[in-house]
Structure 1
């Protein structure tokens, strides 16, 4: 203390100092009491509790009747709250802490509850034993209530933020109008919006078209899907006025719109928000949200509804623009493709074109079927580089030029050479790939050329899918620029019932995988698909293009040669065995045995398998191509099997006299021993070796058959 302080204290009478101190303490106690705050001292050793008057009022105790027992205070509390307080005190004492703080509820005489807070300090002896606990007790009902209000407000704001974020995220992935409605009405759609039902109506010409309904409570107005822009109905009225409507009861809705009165009994919701959908100053329609429990819309809730409407309106505007651009692109591309595919004799053709899911990004893929002389026809599938209107225009010119060259009767290699020259002479930097084939279904001959494109796939009659090795040249345009217009032909044989598949890369481009994986998947789907050309084309479109081909357009052509099953009493099958197929012989033997078993002729299966193997081995070893195996049952009166193997070689088999050590040359001897009859016939550019297995031929004349061996 300074000299000045000492002099000041000496100059003040001692009694006045005591009064000032007492007055200060009294003023502090009064201020605490006014804030419903009191103090206490708990003598743990003596088990007595001293609480000032303010503290006793906090506990709802009469200051004149309080007996200084701690149990008297505890008895004021509910058991759960008493336990809460006791646990807090015990934990603080046992853990050695010097203080504790706890909130608990005190029941009041008027039936209400008061939130109470104790902040206490634990005083211990030198050996750590608890001696006294002193602290303050306060009525914190106002603070806790305010805190609960703040927490509730924060929860509501978090919920509103979550609704906006989830709705925005879901609609950000919507591309078409159908996608928008699916995100609103699909799984979790109503939960994202925080509503129990919705109705979405769009203006189409002069009518209101309800394109989405969701929720049990709005099914009652399903019959109002198509109405004019009539102000008697809330969707149209909201659209025309451009003002939102917030209604908190069905009676209010019916009062405002009497036309809904016949449906009122079936409406289970209590509140509805009709929100105009406006984007770029254009009124698109109205979004109605329905609620079962809500009875009021405060300012925040109205702002939330209007925000959701703005998000939906922007998504619909974007989706409608995409749909319009896609329709434009599809229409432009379709105009470049043949309007009608001719019917062919002896087979079935199916074509499909799918534009890319990228707005106005028009592709250059195309297909065509061209009539040729002598009942032949040409088929082509191709792709011009790029995805824009220039690619589509170039494709249209190239398609017409290639069609003209083919119709003139040129060979497939010449057709592509001239088409390449035509594309090179156009004022464009684009190139094109394509596969072109001339087909004669009468003989099954297919002459294929390709220019930097995928080769065809062949689905055989037993479901196996082959990918024949078709030689190819450079893409059209590039081949001319490099002075290499060689497009070698590859001959394929399409037996009755087999299917040829031509396609562009959009059908096999799987995101994240190499092109070979996509081709393998296509082969699997061709194998698993139905037999008919139309059905198979639909199957491939559904399984592949809709699965991963949305980033590119797709052209697909499926050609099936009509099957030749014979008749029930004289069935027939055909099978092509490719020279490069290592399992072809084994498959052919299996097919022959299974067919004879199915035809109740299993007793001939061993001989037929032996002859099949011998004839096919001769073709695959001594010719430059594959073979067509035909197995049929000859009609009665003699039920025999006729087996024929056709190849492209004009050289006829020769009878030989092999020595004992020779490893070949016994084929015709084996044929003589097993077959009832056999012979050789010219067939197109090659020949067919045939034989009959079964009972001997009944004698009908003494003349020798022209086809019997000499």
Structure 2
């Protein structure tokens, strides 16, 4: 009932000393509700009807909640509140009262609302009577009977439940709606169970309330002697109208339900397109039998639940398929990069079969370098995902060819324009030299990266940006600026897509500040930090995808010793001799004299090849690289894009043995294409000093 306040129990001055004889003769109790104080006064007969003793009632309406079932209490509260608000003078209704022994009896109340001169309600006076005998004698009344009210309530439940199920996307959402205890009490059921058909078995997914589950029935075969199995097997509802009928028809299940005091039950098959997908069971402790109208309402409820479950299953299947397609377009694994700890995470948006164009990638490059990519293709559909897959592969190929970061991004933009998709993409490409910590970053309309400091702290890196991929080619603005950032040992580079920081109606700068605080307070380990960030994104939800890439620079690669670089011009006859002399001196100074002749011979061959087969100069670079082992690396660079080919030389040929010699004398060698030419490199394992 409506709570209008509380105060000490005191009878009003006009309250009669004795109940009216006429009311007493008609077994009617009276009440007087003072809306100003909130006190609800009752006479002795009203106390009997509510089965409340004088010494245990304090005059507060809510004290009667122990005698009125929750669903009845809510309905009475709504009825009286509506009468007060709409200016009514009278109201009347039937309701049930639960006595001390647990039995439910019907009662009827009528009230008259008294208002002051302003129309404000001040008091409600009325009568309450026991209506059990009245309803047994006649079911036809001008007012609504309890049966009619029960029927109306169940009809309302079907409508309310259907409306709630319409908002459910996943199977778990449907389960949550059915588990709602309010739905259970509105149905008037003591217990509710829902099972789904899986491989010829029924698996219970809903059992309520707590403590009502039956041992051994979590997973059952459809051919077992249970009412739900029988309803699913025959596609026919099973209505059990008495405990005796339940015990006779289902002797295996009934002993486990005796503690629930079940008096009747309804088991409905959940059918979609003439195929059972599950079953619904409703068990009652205060009713016997089902009228034809009640059966039709429950069957309609079962149909609504079946449709919602089927829709949720289709949704989850489509989402799993979409996520599987997108995951197939992302890298299957992230390479192990010496000198770096890398973690990546991806969260798909909550849009069913629609998938986005967010992606990440890690590209191993020669010389201990690594490329890190994060990007987002415009749109949220399969087309965006298809464009994303092509862009990722193309950008990886351009980076592996050895182009500069600016050239990699510019060529990817031209490629996207030539796809003629009318889509653009934002992208950030970072190329890190893990031995020096130098990171070259190019930004094409994407978010700027963050750098987390060891032990906490975080800074936003300002990167000069260019137009997104596709648009820069469309407007012929392919000149991308390269920003150099130093990543110290222990620092972590964070790249992400806008789904991690953007929320509807929120400012993107606020989202970036929240992200900075999370990163600062987060763990040092990149995997733990990535888990934290993706969990936050998952809790927030949203329809946008999220991609995260974390790269932490370790201390595995450290260059030591020295570095030598010599330029050899084709028209200078002494340049090659001088280069060989410098190589010999550097090798000796670095303590690797035992391989001096091999290193000098190989460097001479590579330089000579450049001078003979290209029209430009050669740049030779020597350096010592230490890691798991100590190596001397030789790089010879030229401006020709023609790659060298190893070929077998005949006895009469005077050339063609250079690369055979390089292959025989070095431990490893290769060719690294560059945007302006190429680099032929080789490495020699050399002993550690001391």
Residue of structure 1 equivalent to 2:628: none
In structure 2, do the counterparts of structure 1 residues 525 and 165 end up closer, same or farther at CA, with 3 Å as the change threshold?
Answer: farther
| Distance (Å, rounded) in 1 between the aligned partners of 2:449 and 2:22 | 91
Matched, 1:78 2:71: no
2:268 and 2:280 in contact (8 A); partners too: yes
Matched, 1:183 2:129: no
Structure 1 segments of 4+ aligned residues over 6 angstroms from their partners: 74-77, 79-85, 141-145
Matched, 1:486 2:479: yes
Matched, 1:560 2:506: no
Residue of structure 1 equivalent to 2:393: 400
Question: How big is the shift at 1:264?
Answer: 4.6
**How is 1:375-454 mapped onto 2 (pairs within 5 angstroms)?**
375-454=368-447
Residue of structure 1 equivalent to 2:299: 306
1:511-540 Cα offsets, whole Å, 9 max, x none, are 222322222222222223222111111111
Residue of structure 2 equivalent to 1:161: 155
Residue of structure 1 equivalent to 2:349: 356
Question: How big is the shift at 1:82?
Answer: 11
In structure 2, do the counterparts of structure 1 residues 306 and 496 end up closer, same or farther at CA, with 3 Å as the change threshold?
Answer: same
TM-score (norm 1): 0.57
2:151 and 2:294 in contact (8 A); partners too: no
Matched, 1:202 2:180: no
| Distance (Å, rounded) in 2 between the aligned partners of 1:428 and 1:489 | 27
Question: How big is the shift at 1:320?
Answer: 0.7
1:379 and 1:437 in contact (8 A); partners too: yes
- Secondary structure at the counterpart of residue 319 of structure 1: helix
TM-score (norm 2): 0.59
| Distance (Å, rounded) in 1 between the aligned partners of 2:439 and 2:494 | 12
| Distance (Å, rounded) in 2 between the aligned partners of 1:327 and 1:308 | 29
| Distance (Å, rounded) in 1 between the aligned partners of 2:407 and 2:172 | 48
- Secondary structure at the counterpart of residue 391 of structure 1: helix
Residue of structure 1 equivalent to 2:167: 173
1:563-587 Cα offsets, whole Å, 9 max, x none, are 89xxxxxxxxxxxxxxxxxxxxxxx
1:303-332 Cα offsets, whole Å, 9 max, x none, are 222122122111111111100110110011
| Distance (Å, rounded) in 1 between the aligned partners of 2:142 and 2:512 | 63
Q: Which piece of structure 1 moves more, 321-330 or 291-300?
A: 291-300
In structure 2, do the counterparts of structure 1 residues 274 and 559 end up closer, same or farther at CA, with 3 Å as the change threshold?
Answer: same
In structure 2, do the counterparts of structure 1 residues 343 and 76 end up closer, same or farther at CA, with 3 Å as the change threshold?
Answer: closer
Unaligned runs of 5+ in 2: 1-19, 32-89, 93-107, 109-133, 557-690
Residue of structure 2 equivalent to 1:285: 278
2:489 and 2:555 in contact (8 A); partners too: yes
| Distance (Å, rounded) in 2 between the aligned partners of 1:144 and 1:242 | 37
1:269-307 Cα offsets, whole Å, 9 max, x none, are 332210111233332111111222222222232222212
Residue of structure 2 equivalent to 1:456: 449
Coordinate RMSD, CA, aligned: 3.1
**Number of aligned pairs?**
438
| Distance (Å, rounded) in 2 between the aligned partners of 1:520 and 1:184 | 40
Matched, 1:242 2:242: no
| Distance (Å, rounded) in 1 between the aligned partners of 2:203 and 2:169 | 20
1:369-395 Cα offsets, whole Å, 9 max, x none, are 111111211111101111221111111
In structure 2, do the counterparts of structure 1 residues 158 and 562 end up closer, same or farther at CA, with 3 Å as the change threshold?
Answer: farther
- Secondary structure at the counterpart of residue 412 of structure 2: helix
1:459 and 1:499 in contact (8 A); partners too: yes
2:23 and 2:29 in contact (8 A); partners too: no
Q: Which has the higher Rg, Structure 1 or Structure 2?
A: 1
Question: How big is the shift at 1:427?
Answer: 3.4
Question: How big is the shift at 1:437?
Answer: 0.5
In structure 2, do the counterparts of structure 1 residues 208 and 426 end up closer, same or farther at CA, with 3 Å as the change threshold?
Answer: same
Question: How big is the shift at 1:561?
Answer: 2.6
| Distance (Å, rounded) in 1 between the aligned partners of 2:158 and 2:316 | 25
1:176 and 1:322 in contact (8 A); partners too: yes
In structure 2, do the counterparts of structure 1 residues 189 and 530 end up closer, same or farther at CA, with 3 Å as the change threshold?
Answer: farther
Residue of structure 2 equivalent to 1:211: 205
In structure 2, do the counterparts of structure 1 residues 557 and 77 end up closer, same or farther at CA, with 3 Å as the change threshold?
Answer: closer
| Distance (Å, rounded) in 2 between the aligned partners of 1:82 and 1:289 | 36
| Distance (Å, rounded) in 1 between the aligned partners of 2:29 and 2:449 | 83
- Secondary structure at the counterpart of residue 331 of structure 2: coil
2:260 and 2:285 in contact (8 A); partners too: no
| Distance (Å, rounded) in 1 between the aligned partners of 2:275 and 2:248 | 29
1:604-633 Cα offsets, whole Å, 9 max, x none, are xxxxxxxxxxxxxxxxxxxxxxxxxxxxxx
| Distance (Å, rounded) in 1 between the aligned partners of 2:527 and 2:187 | 43
| Distance (Å, rounded) in 1 between the aligned partners of 2:181 and 2:389 | 44
**How is 1:542-581 mapped onto 2 (pairs within 5 angstroms)?**
542-548=535-541, 550-562=542-554
In structure 2, do the counterparts of structure 1 residues 224 and 151 end up closer, same or farther at CA, with 3 Å as the change threshold?
Answer: closer
Indicate the structure with greater helix content.
1
In structure 2, do the counterparts of structure 1 residues 274 and 381 end up closer, same or farther at CA, with 3 Å as the change threshold?
Answer: same
In structure 2, do the counterparts of structure 1 residues 403 and 83 end up closer, same or farther at CA, with 3 Å as the change threshold?
Answer: closer
- Secondary structure at the counterpart of residue 201 of structure 1: strand
1:330-382 Cα offsets, whole Å, 9 max, x none, are 01101101111112223321111122211111211111111111121111110
- Secondary structure at the counterpart of residue 286 of structure 2: coil
- Secondary structure at the counterpart of residue 348 of structure 1: strand
**How is 1:448-597 mapped onto 2 (pairs within 5 angstroms)?**
448-548=441-541, 550-562=542-554
Q: Structure 1 residue aligned with 2:265, among 266, 272, 276?
A: 272
In structure 2, do the counterparts of structure 1 residues 305 and 380 end up closer, same or farther at CA, with 3 Å as the change threshold?
Answer: same
Question: How big is the shift at 1:153?
Answer: 4.2
In structure 2, do the counterparts of structure 1 residues 443 and 291 end up closer, same or farther at CA, with 3 Å as the change threshold?
Answer: farther
| Distance (Å, rounded) in 2 between the aligned partners of 1:402 and 1:168 | 49
- Secondary structure at the counterpart of residue 465 of structure 2: coil
2:139 and 2:145 in contact (8 A); partners too: no
- Secondary structure at the counterpart of residue 338 of structure 1: coil
Whose RCO is larger (CA < 8 A, sep 6+)? 2
In structure 2, do the counterparts of structure 1 residues 511 and 563 end up closer, same or farther at CA, with 3 Å as the change threshold?
Answer: farther
1:384-407 Cα offsets, whole Å, 9 max, x none, are 111221111111111101011111
Residue of structure 2 equivalent to 1:152: 146
Q: Structure 2 residue aligned with 1:373, among 366, 380, 392?
A: 366
| Distance (Å, rounded) in 1 between the aligned partners of 2:364 and 2:157 | 61
Question: How big is the shift at 1:266?
Answer: 5.2
1:448 and 1:470 in contact (8 A); partners too: yes
- Secondary structure at the counterpart of residue 220 of structure 1: coil
1:149-200 Cα offsets, whole Å, 9 max, x none, are 6243453244223312331232122110011111211453423443222111
| Distance (Å, rounded) in 2 between the aligned partners of 1:350 and 1:380 | 13
